[in-house]
Amino acid sequence: MQLQDKVAVVTGAAGGIGAAVAQALVDAGAHVVVSDVDEARVVATAERLGAVAVAGDASSDEAIAAMITAAEQAHGPVDLFFANAGIGDGLGLSATDAQWQAALDVNLLAHVRAARQLVPGWVERGTGYFVSTASAAGLLTQIGSATYSVSKHGAVAFAEWLAVTYGDDGIGVSCLCPMGVDTDLLRSGMTSGDDAEGRVAAAAVTGAGEVLAPSDVADQVLAAVTEGRFLITPHEDVREFLRRKVDDHDRWIGGMQRYQRHLRESTR
């Protein structure tokens, strides 16, 4: 997928990875629509980039349709969709049903709903590209947050399914699985609150490896899209951790249990 003059939609783009991806797309010559629930910030991002802003919930069918319509009216049919919006509310078994539903809606079902609206047209055209922002938590797990871990596992699985099912129809799929990135979600979303579970969840992310700048992640995302590469792991350790998990699942769980004990002791 070459990016010059392509039309792209990026969700969760008021800041963080989404805004950085939008910036990289504009720099590459693409026409961009940015969306976020935070209207003031996403409008400011759009004005800075020369993009089109659409405020709305990335998990809403109506909001997704509005993004697509705005792109078509401004630039033409959507070529690329970056399902980047994400939330991390809910820690452990104390997470409520509402928190579970919100995580599943934003982190997983938003991707499904966007694909429903875009993929049939892409198949007719013989081209299109879907980028899922999942997480290393979707390949491994997230100590502390069950809602985040489970919904991100689902995002990885759905991206894999899309790639397998529609690859022969000219549809490209990439799945982004970073560890810590310097975003609002890392700073305050998943780790909000002063309880022990929140402190452990925060330490699990920041202690697992380098916390990367969103711009560095965005560069790797666009490189993968240009190359047509599925799995994007900005943190090199993720692939090694995944290999260990596959090689010996029980040993890997034992190691994660030890790591969790260490985190609990160090964050008291």
DSSP-derived secondary structure for the chain: ---TT-EEEESS-SSHHHHHHHHHHHHTT-EEEEEES-HHHHHHHHHHHT-EEEES-TT-HHHHHHHHHHHHHHTSS--EEEE--------GGG--HHHHHHHHIIIIIHHHHHHHHHHHHHHHHT-EEEEEE--GGGTS--TT-HHHHHHHHHHHHHHHHHHHHHGGGTEEEEEE--S-BSSHIIIIITT-SSSHHHHHHHHHHHTSS--B-HHHHHHHHHHHHHHT-SEE-SSTHHHHHHHHHHH-HHHHHHHHHHHHHHHHHHT-
Provide CB contacts within 8 A for 2, sequence distance 6+: 226
Let me know if 129 is a catalytic residue: no
Please choose, from the candidates 66, 186, 79, the residue with its C-alpha nearest in 3D space to the C-alpha of residue 131.
Answer: 79
Residue type, 220: Q
Answer yes or no: are the C-beta atoms of 33 and 52 closer than 8 Å. yes
**Rounded Cα distance, 217 and 177, in Å:** 10
Out of 129, 148, 166, 259, the active site residue is 148
Active site residues: 148
